Chains A and B, each alone.
Chain A
Amino acid sequence: MLRYIIRRVLWGVVLLILVSALTFVLFRVLPTGDPARLRAGRVASPRVIAEIRVDLGLNRSLLEQFWLYMKGIFMHFDLGYSYYSNASVKGLIADRLPATISLTLGASVVWLLSGLAVGIVSAVRRRSALDRGAMGTALLFISAPEYWLGLIVLYLFASDIGQIRVFPGAGSYVPLSSDPWKWFTSLILPWLVLAATNSAIYARLIRGSMTEVMGEDYIRTARAKGLSERRVILRHGLRSAVNPVMTILALDVGVLLGGAILVENVFEIPGIGLLNYQAITHSDFPIVQGTVLAGALFIIVANILVDIAYAYLDPRVRFQ
């Protein structure tokens, strides 16, 4: 098992190096704008631009730049500085991470619980009105863009601009450490919006998986043994059906930790997604690069965790 874990971690590191190299190519070799010019402003003289180019190391060869860049990331965890505020990108990401974690973990609890409940009910009551209604609603939420859905719930339920003023609206986020209750209430609408799409997807997944599992011989055996239907569904059916869902959950959480750009923007949650959005609109490449790398790191870590969990649950995996 230990060898398996080491192998997976090493592959993760290799992947991270590849992603870092790709981001270098994207932002330095194929620039969408000259970083020195962007930093200097629009009427800067060629002299100023040249000086900034030297400061940023853009006058060095690409290989040299690549070496310094990789060395900075892997030896010093140095992601550079914002072109505009001069703030450390590493510091900015660390500052924004708690908000993104709050949003992601809360939303994942909501979508997992609701997705499981709806999926199970739909699976055991297939083709009933309840099943059709639930799956129809799921389709609706899957089709609804998060951005649009966010605006709609704000216009309906936000305490400042809503028609029915119930929940705190955009810009109300406070850190958990400063006021737990305000933190909780400020995240209710973002959690619901972020969970809506995912919950619908998970409900359909669970339904499909449960439908298949509930037709298996061992389920029939369990019923024949006289176990209660509740026990058959939850202990025997769900346990098998939930495995593929957990894999996707880990990946979805990894992706969202890289920033839920649209939801964070609509609800003005100062997380990594909003940081990334602001950096993109300002062409602040070091921040975009840093958030891309952070996102990749979260996805790779989530992948490794899923692989390890699989290997733990199914010994055949680690011997393949």
Chain B
Amino acid sequence: MTRKMRMAALAVLAAACATALAACGSSSTSSSSVSANGIQSPKTQAQSGGKRGGTLTVLNHEDFENIDPGLAYFTIDYEAVYATQRPLFSYRPNTFAQASPDLASEPAEVSSDGKTITVHIRHGVHFSPPVNREVTSADVAYAIERGANPNVANPYFESYFSSLEGSANAKGGPFPGITTPDKYTIVFHLEKPTAAIVLDALALPLSAPVPEEYAKRYDARKPSEYGDYQVASGPYMFKNNSEGKVLGIGYQPGKSATLVRNPNWNASTDFRPAYLDEINIQIGGDTNVIGRQVLEGSNMIQNDPVAKAIVQLAYEKFRSQLEISPGAGTRYIAVNNKQGPFSNLDARKAFWAALNRVAMNKAAGGSLVADVQTHFIYPEIPGFEDAGGLQGPKVDYNEHPEGNMAIAEKYMRLAGYPSGKYSGSKTLALVGSTAHTGEAEIADSTLRGLGFKTKLSLVDQSVMYAKYCGVPAEEIDVCPNVGWGADFPDGQAVLDVTFNGNKIIPSGSNNWGQVNDPTINAAMEKAELLTSREAREKAWAAIDDELVADAAAVPYAFVKEAQIESKDVAGVGDLWNSGSWDYSFTSLK
């Protein structure tokens, strides 16, 4: 879900790209770092052979949200955290299919009943100063346990680690679900066979080791201050003082951050090449100015959303410095499945059929940064092809990306409106995001074309989620621009929280359309317990099919993300993180 917030800013990549769109296709599969149209793709960038040394300057207009590995949950946080921390598993830049052992020395062992996961960790990995000692399995155990500490309050602990034995009552201390039989082995004991999803979650920053004897005093504070005094296990560390203090030294909120080499990092234990000597991150400024500074400057990258005018400029004049990453998430229209006109399946199909998804995507930035969405599992997530690929399922309401009113009216008649237009008295409440005004207005006008009376309100994106679309009691009929990006490559990470009726909660619900189909819920509960990747892929693809058949929401964008670099930077983007530049693989030319 980290990329979800990032997608909010994707709106910034809009209309200016429109002129450049027709020529922009999908990423190349050639072996060079640029595709046929001259744009880079994280899938094909060289991960080795970079020049060692130098200082990279990062111009970000956004600040980090959290640099504590127990709290980091945002695209730009991840790039710093994965350069400074070593979770048990992590993704190489060009893949979002399978995590590689990172602190783990080899792939995890999963018991045949899917209820026990054993992970062996590497010897010879050391914490940065001032801790300096070797990392042990107890440090990984403490790192995950502290996720349940209310002072830390890790945002995804309950979602992915709640099946660990005893985790329900965990408050930050040891619990039976995690044991460490020796210094280099950690075992996870699960109450039910959910090994697959726990294993995926072990690639999140929460599994990066934290030394208890050092961190405990900071974790005792409300809220925890460990992030301000953190130590590293990866190739880089936030610059700190002799006491380990980072805040005000290596990280000045809203101003800058400095990553320097971790003197205790042992390259032979890591797959990261870590070419750069130092990474200076400057925070703040206007995205248009930053973009120009990067494109025309030297040794710079931008590692947060690029302004739409800059994407256009890069496409037209600095194409080799532009990277487009597929698989950055989805954006769709949530319609209220529980009450109102869209509790009727045929009315939902009518809306889907009528919507001009091509126009929606043009408003969002065009084909350079979005493909027409045809179902819910998105590119790079296993199950995408099984669920129909880019073409999507062959149902009549999905076959006309530019919208088809004849099909829409057919479904309106099936929904009980003989004229093919809505004839009820209800005025639909639409709440959209100010970051996606164009898409919201197109959705609104489509509904009016189907005969609905509407009242569209545009609010800040965070307010849209926190106060309206995520609160079922508000009874919003349509949320025209909600988005989702998965934490890891698994259909469950895309569909479960967003469409499982059992996940609807009174506040902060991510099932914005209140989709609650017992058949789909049951299929999800069953699929969660599958351990084989192939079986999971097929099961979640089948659930995707059911969601399309149920027209649970109206999809419109498979999101892609743009990144830019200076001409003398050999950037390597992370496919698993919306193409953001990876500090441990990027080098200077």
Contacts and interface: CB of A to CB of B under 8 A. Distances in A.
Contact of B155 (A32, A43, A81, A277): A43
Interface string B235-248: 00000000000010
B286 interface: yes
A71 interface: no
A217 to B, nearest CB: 53
A265 B285 contact: yes
B63 interface: yes
Contacts of A45: 158-159, 505
Given A151-B286, A171-B285, A160 B63 contact: no
A267 B286 CA distance: 8
A297 interface: no
B466 A48 contact: no
Interface string A27-38: 000001110011
B289 interface: yes
Contacts of B505: 45-46
Given A42-B1, A49-B508, A55 B150 contact: yes
Interface stretch (B220-228, B329-337, B577-585): B220-228
Interface stretch (B48-56, B78-86, B249-257, B362-370): B249-257
B158 A34 contact: no
Contact of A161 (B223, B293, B507): B293
Interface stretch (A82-90, A115-123, A231-239): A82-90
Interface string B529-561: 000000000000000000000000000000000
A86 B59 contact: no
Interface string B51-93: 0000000010011111000000100000000000000000000
A205 interface: no
A42 B3 CA distance: 11
B223 A171 contact: no
Contacts of B73: 41
Contact of B296 (A92, A160, A278): A160
Contacts of B286: 150-151, 170, 265-266, 268
Contacts of A44: 153, 155, 158, 508
A44 B147 CA distance: 12
Interface residues of B, number: 56
B64 A84 contact: yes
A46 B470 CA distance: 12
Contacts of B289: 151, 154, 161, 169-170, 266, 268
Nearest to B67: A85
B64 A42 contact: no
B424 interface: no
Nearest to B300: A160
B158 A85 contact: no
A23 interface: no
A281 interface: yes
Interface stretch (B111-119, B410-418, B443-451, B457-465): B457-465
A170 B289 CA distance: 7
A182 interface: no
A40 interface: yes
Contacts of B65: 84, 282
Contacts of B465: 42
Contact of A40 (B63, B155, B247): B155
A95 interface: yes
B258 interface: no
A274 interface: yes
Contacts of A95: 252
Nearest to A264: B284
B15 to A, nearest CB: 18
Interface residues of A, number: 48
B285 A32 contact: no
Contacts of B59: 171
Nearest to B287: A265
Nearest to B4: A42
A89 to B, nearest CB: 10
A46 B73 CA distance: 18
A47 interface: yes
A52 B158 CA distance: 14
Most buried by B among A169, A270, A275: A270
B176 interface: no
A185 interface: no
B510 A43 contact: yes
A149 B413 CA distance: 55
Given A161-B292, A265-B285, A274-B284, A92 B254 contact: yes
Contacts of A33: 462-463, 466-467
Contacts of A65: none
A283 interface: yes
A51 interface: yes
Nearest to A51: B150
A150 B283 CA distance: 18
B156 interface: yes
B229 to A, nearest CB: 11
A100 B293 CA distance: 23
B296 A161 contact: yes
A265 B62 CA distance: 11
A155 B222 CA distance: 46
A213 B65 CA distance: 57
Given A37-B466, A84-B66, A47 B288 contact: no
Nearest to B467: A33
B284 A278 contact: yes
Contacts of A150: 286
Interface in A91-134: 92, 95-96
A96 B293 CA distance: 24
A51 B152 CA distance: 10
A268 B284 contact: yes
A33 B470 CA distance: 11
B131 interface: no
Most buried by B among A81, A95, A171: A171
Given A44-B508, A55-B223, A87 B247 contact: yes
Interface string A153-171: 0110000110000000111
Nearest to A274: B284
29 contacts: A34-B507, A37-B466, A37-B508, A40-B508, A41-B73, A41-B155, A42-B5, A43-B156, A43-B497, A45-B159, A46-B505, A47-B158, A48-B153, A48-B154, A48-B157, A48-B158, A51-B150, A85-B63, A85-B64, A86-B227, A87-B228, A92-B254, A154-B289, A155-B292, A171-B59, A268-B289, A270-B254, A278-B63, A278-B254
Given A85-B254, A265-B286, 10 more contacts: A37-B466, A40-B155, A41-B155, A55-B222, A55-B223, A86-B224, A87-B228, A160-B293, A270-B252, A283-B460
Interface of A: 32-34, 37-38, 40-49, 51-52, 55, 81-82, 84-87, 92, 95-96, 150-151, 154-155, 160-161, 169-171, 265-268, 270, 274-275, 277-278, 281-283
